[in-house]
Amino acid sequence: MRTALLLAAVMLAPLYGQPRDVIKVDFTIRDTGDAGGKGGRKYSLLLNAGQKSVFKVGNRVPMATSSSAGVNVNTQFTYVDVGVNIDCIVQENGGKMAVHADMEMSTAIAPEKTSAITNPTISQIRLSVDTAIVPGKPTVVASFDDPVTSRKFEIEAVATKVN
């Protein structure tokens, strides 16, 4: 799989002008409040230097937006993406990797049974990170406490030049 991705990146480089360096970025998101999640969730992107890459994983959750009563009940829905979204740009800069990442982590929380509202609540954390990291060295780029729960999060990034 990695070879196929590398081959695709190398083959597409001439289509965008000058050949670009291929960089692999690994993000590890740890929920330090989760006893079973010490290793964290890992997300990897293989991208051309200086070009934006988008990574999305998760589900689409239906949310009722309107309903009409009568003989036939007609409910309209809109869908909300929940999960992990990462938009990333990396550029080699003076022996370091300049990383820009917009990250969003969201989840749907089921409504309480006593509530009249049947739509789930969307819990969301959004970050925008601009930093420089040493190639190949795991670096914590964000660490924060969830303001709603007692959970603590840590985001680690590793960027390595592939070619």
Return the amino acid letter for 9.
A
Q: Check pLDDT > 80 for residue 148.
A: no
Q: Please determine, for residue 85, whether its predicted confidence score (pLDDT) is greater than 70.
A: yes
- pLDDT attached to residue 123: 86
The candidate with the shortest Cα–Cα distance to 88, out of 49, 133, 41, 144, is 49
Ranges 1-5, 66-70, 129-133, 149-153: which has the least confidence: 1-5
pLDDT of 130 strictly over 90: yes
Give Cα 160 distance to the centre of its chain: 19
- Structural domain harbouring 113: 2-161
Mean pLDDT of the chain: 83
Minimum mean pLDDT range among 16-20, 26-30, 36-40, 103-107: 16-20
Question: How many Å apart are CA 113 and CA 100, to the nearest integer?
Answer: 41
* Structural domain total, the chain: 1
Q: Mark 23-47 as b/e (b = at least 16 C-beta within 10 Å).
A: bbbebbbbbeeeeeeeebeebebeb
Percent of the chain at pLDDT above 90?
48
Q: Higher model confidence: residue 132 or residue 18?
A: 132
Residue keyed to tokens 């989840």: 107
